[in-house]
Every structure is written in structure tokens, then in C-alpha cells.
Structure 1
Amino acid sequence: MTGDINLVPLPPAPATGSRPAPAAGELLKLLEPQAGLIDAGKTVDAEVLALKQGGEAFQLLLKLTLAGGRQTLVQAASSQPLPLGSHVAVSQTSAGDLAISLQQALSASGGALSRIDTSQLPIGTLLQAKVLTSQALPQGAGQPALYRSLVSVLNNALIGTTLSLESPQPLRVGSLLSAVVQGAQALDFVPLSGRQEQLAISQQLATQHSRQGSLDSLLKALQNMPHSASSAAMERLLAGLPDLAQVSNPKVLAQLLHNSGIFLEARLLAGQNPQVPPLDMKGSLLRLVAELAPALPATTNLNAILAANTLAQMLPGFVRSPLGTLGQFGARTAASSFPLPERLMRLEGESSLENLLRLAAGAISRLQSHQLSSLEQTGTTADGKLLTTWQLEIPMRTLQDIVPLQVKFQREEPAPDKDAPERKIDRDANKMLWRVELAFDMEPLGPLQVQAQLSQGKLSSQLWATRPYTASLIESHLGSLRERLVSSGIDVGDLDCHLGTPPRGPKTGLEQRWVDETA
């Protein structure tokens, strides 16, 4: 159903009957007490990086800027929410408490956006957000219930902004909502129906992008480990890497695709034993983490190690965590981009074991990014066709190097027959359209991308090389490639090589076609 949502003005002083406010100020309870964090009588700036509601309490992730410019992260509990990005001056009253003034608490609570600039987001614009908090407002006798929520915007020009909303029904914390802008302080709620799952995938994919690290970074680190320090999981992982000749074998390649990690959850649901060879890449990485973790010192925070690179997305200018230097990433890329960019983590000042765990966690997140990208690009096209996407990555050996090969398959099927009783899909192979994309960087050729399309038995392909020599070399062999394909019984259409990279427009994978064979 639909309903009205209103953006609220800055909140007034707490009404009678609401939670009593402390006279001196608001206390923030540190989840992990730290004595001497802030010098007595001093205040420091605290920025709210994350907000989570649990019942009537709220958990905050704060970045404190201490004396001398040193920064640290702390988790605290509060009796009222503080919007993401807000700044308050805090002092320390005890090892387990921080204090802010009452006026600052009220000002920060009102720091969420209370109006929408309709010149920036015109009326009719679709706004998508995640619900961070939800509180019932005190109402007089006989008055309808009213709820106030803080939501984080996920799209449009307001992405990352916190909005303060009032609604006649409570908004479930953690849920995703869509609303159409009706005015500067009015939104119309739109039911998400089938789009809710897609939005949840997109949101999770953005998180995975901030966590991921390149597969070859981990594998090269394992290669350089002294043999005495290697483990069974490390040896199995390295031994399972294929070489170029194996990847060129169709049967071996099919097995590698199956064990790339994209199907691990499906195999587990089907009751298959992941321990039975051939081993799955993602399963092997998970076993590596499980094997390395017990060797950490007892004082090491394993969860912080595995999740620390998440903070790099939240803190682009802040690379020092309580455990050491975080991996520093560049700007976020489009979630469904292909190929995924190389993501390197600079890890210093920690033991090699902790670094390996961070690299392994980043590699697992990279495989999950491919899985989520596959889901995000699977659905129904604008003209009703069904599109299924499989995106994955296979590391392979080339001499002494490890080169990740990124692969994306897309199958486009005709729309279901509306006249058929069961709306059956025509699965005639000749009516399906297949697309394949490859991306890899191999010396001395440099970065290469290949796009191929098979429609009604006809194959067309476009190749891109970033190095002029490589583009010229490929161009000189296209004639020979065409002859070999034709001699294999394949009907060949366009075969072209270009200098540079494939153009990427604003359209999503569900809307994009490389070649329209019917034009």
C-alpha cells in the first residue's frame, strides 16, 4: 500500500512525558571501556560514522580526533540517535562513558535533512533509502500514532544523506523503502514488491565493493611465504591454480567455471560435500581463513581484522585503525561494472598472519562481488525478455605470474508466452541470445577485453586492447581467426579490434545490447 511520509523540521525541546533529559548533558556508554582516552577537562571532536538501533537504545560508531590530530574509532551506546555525519564535542567522565552537552545532543538530532531542494530533486523523483531508526512520538489522548525515523538515502544526488521522517506507521529498522518526492517536505511511499530484492542486492554489493581485494594479491603473498610457514590450505589453494593451457581446454575450463566459487551456496543447498575434490575456490578461501585464525594471538580481535577494510570506505581520509593501517581504496565504482577494478591493500605494521587474513577476507569479498553482480544483472529487460547473468573470476598461472581472468556470461531468452496457460518460455536454442565478456591483463600484451555474441547461430565479436602494439597484432590475425571459426562450422559476423576500452554508457546490463542483429 502507499502512504504519506513527511520530512520534519528541527525538533523542539523534548515534550512532557517523553524520556527525561539529563540536566548536565547526554552520556554515551562506551561498549569497550577505555581509560584515559580523553584528558580530564578536555573535549574532542566526534564524528558519527554509523548508526544502529537495538530496541530503545542506539549504537554509534564514532571517529574521535584526539590531541595532536591522532584519530581513533570507538563504539558507544546512546539513548537517542545522532545522524550519520554529525559532529559533537565529547568529554570523558569515566573509563566507560563519554559526555556531550544537552544542547549539542538536540542540535545533532536536528542535523538530519528536514527539507528537500526540489530544484535538485524535482517532484516525481524516486528516492530510495534504508531505515536507520524508528521511534514513537508522544501524542495526546485520542490523537493518531506518529513515528519519527532517520533514513539514509541510497540514490540520486542525496546519496549518503540522512533524512528525518514522520509517518503514521512505524518503519521497520533495517528495511529498504522507496518514495516519490511530492514536495519540499512531503514524500509518497511506494511499495517495493519485486524491486525490494534488487535494491537489497545493490546495497549489499556496494558494501562488498568496499571490502574486496584482488585475488592475485593474496595468491602472490602465499607464493612468497617460506615453505616452512605454509599450511595444507595454502598448498591446496596454490596447487589448484590452472595454467594457460588448461584454461584453453574446453572441458577443463567448464570445470573451472563450475568451481570458481559462484555456485558454492547452491552446491551446499543441494547437499553436496564441499570437501570432495575438485575444490571450490571460495570454499578453499574460507578453509584458509579457518586454518589461519586459530594461530592468531589470543589478544587479537579477529572480527576487526576481517572487517577493517570496510572502514576504508567510510573513512576515505583516515587510514589508521586501532589495529594498524587499513587498506586504502579509491573512489567507489559502479556496482555492476565489468571488469571489477584491481583493488590493492597497503598493509603495514602488522604480522604477516594478520595481513594474510585481511587479504583472504578481501579475496572472499571479491568473489561475493561477482556473485552479487550476477544477481543484480539478472531479471527482465524493458521488452520483457528474461536475462540471466553469471559473473566470475578465475586466477591462472602464466609462467611465474598469476593472472586473474574475469568472465561474464549472459543468456537472453524470449518473453513468456502471454497466451499460454502456464506462460511458458520458449527455450529454443536458436531464439536465445548469448553474450560473453572476458577481461585479463597478461604481459606483454597488457589489458585486454573481449566481447562476443551468439545469436541464431551467428557469432560476432569485438576486442579491445589498451596498447597500440597489441591492437595492431590482434588486427593482423583477425583474418586467420575468421577462417578457423568458419572451418569449425561457425557462421561468423563482425570481428573487430579496437584501441582502448569498451564504451560504458548509463544503461544497465538489463538494457544494453552490443549488436542488434535485427537492425
Structure 2
Amino acid sequence: MTPDITSVSSQQPLPAALRPVVSGVDTLKLLTSLEGLLNVGDSATGQVLSSKAGGVGQPFQVVLALTTASGEQATVVASSKQALPQGTQVTLTQLPSGTLGIVVQQSKSTALAPLTQLDTRQLPVGTLVQGKVLSSEAVPQGGSYRSLVALLNTPLAGSTLALDSPGPLRVGSLLSAQVQGAGNLSFVPLSGRLEQLAVHQQLQSQQSRQGSLEGLLAALQTLGDSSEVADDLRTSANRLLGSLPDIRQLTDARGVAQALNASGLFLEAQLLTPQAGALPDDLKSSLLRLVAQILPNLPGSAPFNPAEAAKALANALPGYVRSALGTLGQVGEKPATNSFPLPSRLLGGLDGDNDLQQLLRLASAAVSRLQSHQLSSLEQSGMSEDGKILTTWQLEIPMRNQQDIVPLQVRVQREDEPQQQQQHPPQPTAEQRAPLWRVELAFDLDPLGPLQIQAQLLRGSLSGQLWAEWPQTARLIDSQLDSLRQRLLAQGLEVTELHCNQGTPPQGPRTHLEQRWVDETA
């Protein structure tokens, strides 16, 4: 695909000669010899490599890859009265007249005439479609190019779409485009797709290295009793532990906002506007400082220099940390990306000698866990297949519950309607454009056990479900739902659904965040 292509029009129907073959049997005139490959009456299977128009009233020139019954392969050129889209599977038989009898092996993508208009009820404006280019030919005296594209996603997957574009589309290439209307598409820049691929690959790498925060926090709580730990390291550990919010602080909006801001999710954004060259004071920056202070205490390490530490951490993790992360990456299977909540992964605590390398490994794994949340946020943000704009924030907050430290995993997602809308029906009102908010929480709180909460809010209407793994907890919560409903109503919310279930939320090809329990717009 040429980089200057910005839109594709499918308003003009293709001439009949350019439509995929729908007749079952035809003949091809050979332009290259098959002597020694096929005898009269012999058959072979083939695949169309290319099909080029010879001009008005002229036959098409077709290049075929043949495979005989004995396994021999050859490339032949023939002329055809009809177009054969690239990739079409055929069966060929050598005829006495020097021609080939051809039977098209019909498939969903070739048995039907190509689409020249899109049904916006199936593919609303803003929907992202992906396809593979089957053929692309210049339109005589038209100054444009006509292509056939096999759709790979959406409910129309398997169909063939006929496109007119100002530039050629490379045969065999994959393309992504956004629906602008029944007869128009707008290509998505390739760089954006590559960025998503890079995020996905980095997320897989980080998730294989990550470890649960509670492993590191438990190890840090034991440092205060050791006389072999440097004072600056012990001070940093105590400072990190002291910054963790108490569970009571998360019972009001201000406390929640402070905890979200200090989670480390926004560290890189805050670094874009640094204050006096100092790192922001949040969970991730505290972990990075801890890593930088562990390193000088390892054998053969240089003394700790605070001024150089921030610079080094901004560029790359030191060799010791890369080694620690590499070791973690070899342990266990890689978890699936986009999973929520991230599973617990304890890497063991310190031994009797306060093994600093193990502490470094725990701190590095904790950094990777926070980065897994950050990358998951990026991967789940963007344009959904139904054209909605999704923005996702996924993070983890260690909170104090009496003597315990309980990690609280949070995922917040905002869904907005695209700005570009069809002229018919009329433009939606401001109320209709109100964003849909989804919130998920996951934590393991003694004595209730593992809990997950899902809620969504649209124009003041709230629906939610709670999931408790322990049966006694599910019964307890179910008995308190009426009280919870009354408290939500007192806050001015309309509660449409509120349930408690035993077990865990279902997982499938589509995450539960992408599904609505109640369709308030129906």
C-alpha cells in the first residue's frame, strides 16, 4: 500500500468481467507448454498467483502455480475469458486441444459477487475492518485502481469487497481501514498497527518477568531487623512501606484519587514535565529508587550516586536487573495478555542472610508487574471493532488492612462514541454521547477471600455484579445487597442491576469488560 493513500471509495460497482468467477467449469488457453508435466486427461491442482486484464475486449492473463498428482510443481501462464482473483483454488485437466479445463473450487470468498456497498447496520461508522488484497488493477482511462479485498474480521469476514482507490494496493498485503460510510473507507496508518504489535510483544515479555507485589513488600518488612543492610536502603524501604494507603483512606473520593495518582501508572507522563529534575514520588519511582540502592551493595558494584541513578534508570535497567529479569522470564508459562486480574506470582522471600540478589529480583519483578498493567492499559485503548473509542487505565494499589498488605487491582475503561457520525440518522444529542464507564476491582481480603467487582455507569444509571470465590462470602454479600442498593440510591444513582455470584467472572474470546450486562440504550 502506498503511503499517500488516505481513503478508498467503493461507490462504483465493478464491471461484470472483474467479478470473481461464479461459473463452475471453463477453459484456459495455454501460453506456456506443459509438455512432460501433464498428459491428455491428467489433472492437477492449482492456485492463481495473478490475474491481469488485457484491455477492453481482451482476455485476462492468468499466472498459475500447479501441483501434479506426483507432487511436481510448475508455474504456467494462460489466458482466460474471466477474471480469477489471486488465491483462487482450481482443478485443471489437460485437454486434447492444448487447452486446460478448469474447475474453480468455490469458497465463501469467491462464490459470491464482491460487495460494492457496506451495510452500516452490520458495520457502523468507525468500525475497524481488516482485509487481504486479492487483486489490484488500473482502471482504463480512469486514473484510479480497482481492487478486490477479502475481509478477515467483522460479521462480513470471508466476503470480498470491491474498492476503487487513487493508488495501487499491493497484492497479498494486509490492510486496516475504518468505515466512514456505506461507500467509503479510510485507511489506518501502518505505523499505528506496528505500535500496537510492539506493545503486545513487550507486554508478553513483561508478564513473563513480573512477580506479585506482596512478595517484595513482605521482604521489605524484614529489612528493619537486619544490621547488615545499608541505612539508605533501609530508609527507602521504610519510606515505601509508609507511603502505602490504609484501607480506610480508600473510602472517600479524595483518598481514591490520591491512591490512583500514586500507583505508578502515570510516572512516564509526569516525567514529561519534571519538577526540579526529581523523580515523582509514586510507587513505581519508589521501586526504581530501591533497585538503584540495592545495586551498590552487591559484590563488585560501584557506590551509589543519586544524581547518576535517575539518569541510568531513565535509559535502561542495569545489567544486574536485566539478569534478574531474564531469570524470571525462564520460570513458568507466560500468562495470557489482557488478563485481569493479573494472577498472583510469589517468587519466594529472603533467606537467613538477607540475600540482596533475591531482593533485587523481587524488586525487578515488582517493576515488571506495574509495567504489565501500564502496557495492558495501552493495548486495551483505541478503537473497538464496533467503532467505539476505548480508553483504559489498569493499575495495582497495595493497601494496608491492619497488619496485612492487600494488593487491589483496578481496571477503569471509558467508552465514547466516535466524533464522526452519519448524516442519517441525525446527530446524537449530548446526552446520547455521554461516555459509558466500566470499573473492575479484584482483591483478596481476609476473612472474605478473593473478590471481584464489576460495575458500569451510563448517564447516572449503574449496574454491577460481585463475584466471591468462597460460598459463605457470596451468601454474606447477597444478604447485604439491599443495603448497598439504598446507599447507591442515596448518592443519586439509578441502580438497574445488582447481583452477587459465587466463583469468578467468565472469561472468553471477548473480555467481560466488552460485554454489557444491561443495554441501557435498547
Instruction: Give yes or no for TM over 0.5.
Output: yes
Offset of residue 290 of structure 1: 1.0
| Secondary structure of the corresponding residue to residue 480 of structure 2 | helix
Could you list the per-position Cα deviations for residues 355-407 of structure 1 after superposition, in whole angstroms to 9, with x for gaps in the alignment? 11111100000000000000000011122111100000000111111100000
1:353-392 aligned at under 5 Å gives the runs 353-392=356-395
Rounded to whole Å, the distance in 2 between the matches of 1:241 and 1:232 is 15
| Secondary structure of the corresponding residue to residue 226 of structure 1 | helix
CA gap 1:308/1:357 in 2 versus in 1, 3 angstroms: closer
Aligned length: 323
Offset of residue 343 of structure 1: 1.2
Match in the other structure for 1:493: 496
The yes-or-no answer on 1:295 pairing with 2:297 is: yes
CA gap 1:312/1:226 in 2 versus in 1, 3 angstroms: closer
CA gap 1:456/1:386 in 2 versus in 1, 3 angstroms: same
Match in the other structure for 1:404: 407
CA gap 1:433/1:354 in 2 versus in 1, 3 angstroms: same
Do the aligned partners of 1:439 and 1:449 also contact (CA within 8 Å) in 2?
Answer: yes
CA gap 1:239/1:346 in 2 versus in 1, 3 angstroms: closer
Deviates more, 1:482-491 or 1:362-371: 482-491
Do the aligned partners of 2:219 and 2:349 also contact (CA within 8 Å) in 1?
Answer: no
Of 183, 200, 203, the residue aligned with 2:201 is 203
Structure 2: runs of 5+ lacking an equivalent:
3-88, 90-106, 110-151, 153-170, 176-189, 303-316
Do the aligned partners of 2:295 and 2:301 also contact (CA within 8 Å) in 1?
Answer: no
Rounded to whole Å, the distance in 2 between the matches of 1:473 and 1:513 is 26
The yes-or-no answer on 1:438 pairing with 2:448 is: no
Match in the other structure for 1:86: none
Instruction: State the AA in 1 paired with 2:217.
Output: L
Give the TM-score, by structure 1 length: 0.57
Rounded to whole Å, the distance in 1 between the matches of 2:335 and 2:430 is 35
Do the aligned partners of 2:298 and 2:356 also contact (CA within 8 Å) in 1?
Answer: yes
Rounded to whole Å, the distance in 1 between the matches of 2:471 and 2:497 is 21
Instruction: State the AA in 1 paired with 2:216.
Output: L
Identical-pair percentage: 53
Offset of residue 297 of structure 1: 0.8
Larger Rg: 2
Give the TM-score, by structure 2 length: 0.57
Instruction: State the AA in 2 paired with 1:504.
Output: Q
Match in the other structure for 1:10: none
1:277-296 aligned at under 5 Å gives the runs 279-296=281-298
Offset of residue 243 of structure 1: 1.1
Do the aligned partners of 1:211 and 1:307 also contact (CA within 8 Å) in 2?
Answer: no
Match in the other structure for 2:396: 393
The yes-or-no answer on 1:251 pairing with 2:254 is: yes
| Secondary structure of the corresponding residue to residue 453 of structure 2 | strand
CA gap 1:334/1:518 in 2 versus in 1, 3 angstroms: same
Of 304, 315, 324, the residue aligned with 1:308 is 324
Structure 1: runs of 5+ lacking an equivalent:
3-117, 126-179, 181-186, 316-327
Rounded to whole Å, the distance in 2 between the matches of 1:346 and 1:373 is 26
Deviates more, 1:354-363 or 1:428-437: 428-437
Could you list the per-position Cα deviations for residues 66-99 of structure 1 after superposition, in whole angstroms to 9, with x for gaps in the alignment? xxxxxxxxxxxxxxxxxxxxxxxxxxxxxxxxxx
Could you list the per-position Cα deviations for residues 41-64 of structure 1 after superposition, in whole angstroms to 9, with x for gaps in the alignment? xxxxxxxxxxxxxxxxxxxxxxxx
Deviates more, 1:244-253 or 1:268-277: 268-277
Rounded to whole Å, the distance in 2 between the matches of 1:408 and 1:488 is 22
Offset of residue 430 of structure 1: 6.5
Could you list the per-position Cα deviations for residues 396-421 of structure 1 after superposition, in whole angstroms to 9, with x for gaps in the alignment? 1111111000001000011112469x
| Secondary structure of the corresponding residue to residue 504 of structure 2 | coil
Rounded to whole Å, the distance in 1 between the matches of 2:400 and 2:256 is 14
Offset of residue 195 of structure 1: 1.5
Rounded to whole Å, the distance in 2 between the matches of 1:273 and 1:513 is 46
Rounded to whole Å, the distance in 1 between the matches of 2:241 and 2:365 is 17
